[in-house]
Amino acid sequence: MATAAAAREFKNFILGEWVAPQSGQFHENRNPANTDEVIGMFPLSSAADVGAAVTAAREAYRKWRLVPAPKRAEILFRAAELLVKRKEDFSRDMTREMGKVLAETRGDVQEAIDMTYYMAGEGRRLFGQTTPSELPNKFAMSVRQPIGVCGLITPWNFPMAIPSWKMMPALVCGNTVVLKPAEDTPLSSYHLVETLAEAGLPAGVVNLVSGEGPGSGSPLAKHAEVPVVSFTGSTYTGRIIAEICAPDFKHCSLEMGGKNIILVMEDANVDLAIDGAIWGGFGTAGQRCTAASRIGVHKSIYHEFARRFVERARSLKVGNGLDPSIEMGPVINEQQLNTVMSYVEIGKSEGAKLLTGGHRLQGAAHAKGWFHEPTVFGDCHAQMRIAQEEIFGPVVSIIPIDSLEEGIEVANDVPYGLSASIYTRNVNRAFSALQDFSTGLVYVNAPTIGAETHLPFGGTKQTGNGHREAAVSAIDFFTEWKSVYIDYSDRLQRAQIDND
């Protein structure tokens, strides 16, 4: 096993070079399934490192914005081809540093591949509009223009997919980037940045500074020469980012928490609903903003569903995600494990019925990791804290409901609005739900997770601030519109003046 003394020492990536942090300080990145293993020593960057990265990005922007978008896209396409070749290696490294099972880390890397290919295609489609002018001999159109240096602050649960959601549209639009990955999972971002550099991205166009939020994330958001900030993480931190960005009117995109629900109606395919609820609740050990931590079940099938769901949850095999037989890995760190355990106690104190789980796993196979049992509470009511607050762990609350109307009311009565799902064979109910769910994502006969790169991703209320990631929505955020008027009449013509 690697030790801190023997572990590889990583550096920041600034102006095309790997450079040590100016403080000379590093932190350990440990495997959450086996804390004896140190993945590497990563920089604890400071405002000085951030400043150097921003300077590099600002200087690179002068030339990068003028590179034709199709040429920028060709570099992204080459990067996607390299990611395909390295998918398995990157997936295994991600499982080691983040903990989720190989099937999920392969999906994470694949999403980065998909997003990179998608945005490469957009290099020939950064469409504006042409429109008739109200005056003769005058041409009117709009074009997109890049904005400048983009500060990207990304979370640990999707350590390659989410950076790709932000980086690829920013780059193809002609912006430059400073990426601050989560301190728990920096290696996957290092792989992504290294791949872009190898694909031919000019020095300074992408820069990476590793470290903790206060030391490097906050200085990046505050930096006067960073006009664009994109953040994914907790609602608490997102509010701080918004306050930092507000005085300078920075472009600010926030993707934050969720408290998502699956509604299971009495006419549902129960087998399918249980499959979806298990995957939605316990995939990534519940550490997804789209995780289905609530299930609203019609009372007529409540007991059957709860019994069978609990049986499935109990049977999940928990352990090191590098083992192909494992179905759920650890939570990310000790702090998150303590948070999960504290919510189990909250659920008990609120009167919810603990149907299974509720404990840290500590047997021989789990002694060196941050493992928690898949946990299910039954007979919950909608206002319990475990049914209102984001836990970000393998804890699911089952809520009995009388009707579709009550289910939608329960679904919407939380601070968040990211994702919701309904299982029903009734097309009228399905369309009613997709109309009335106050969420950015809706699934019918599928769990609350599974977004695709070519549709907008994001939510309402405290989930976000109105922007969307992925698809052309991301391009909207990383560009500004410029309206262009060309008058070839050879005389003064006055728009917005009464010319009659």
> Could you give the residue numbers annotated as active site?
255, 289
Burial of 20 (0-12, 13-18, 19+ CB in 10 A): middle
**Residue (of 224, 219, 192) closest to 208 by Cα position:** 192
Count Cα atoms within 13 angstroms, Cβ side, for 127.
6
**CB neighbour list of residue 209: distance below 8 Å, 6 or more residues apart:** 12, 14, 43, 45, 49, 50, 53, 178, 179, 180, 216, 220
- Residues near 362 by beta carbon (within 8 Å), at least 6 away in sequence: 371
Task: Label residues 195-234 b or e (16+ Cβ within 10 Å = b).
Answer: bbbebebbebbbbbbbbebebbbbbbbbbeebbbbbbbbe
Do the beta carbons of residue 458 and residue 467 sit within 8 Å?
yes
Which residues on adjacent β-strands are paired with residue 31? 34
**Roughly how many angstroms between the first and final C-alpha of the chain, as a whole number?**
84
- 380 residue type, one letter: C
Q: What are the two backbone dihedrals, phi and then psi, of residue 81, each rounded to the nearest 5 degrees? A: -65, -40
Please say whether the beta carbons of 293 and 391 come within 8 A.
Answer: yes
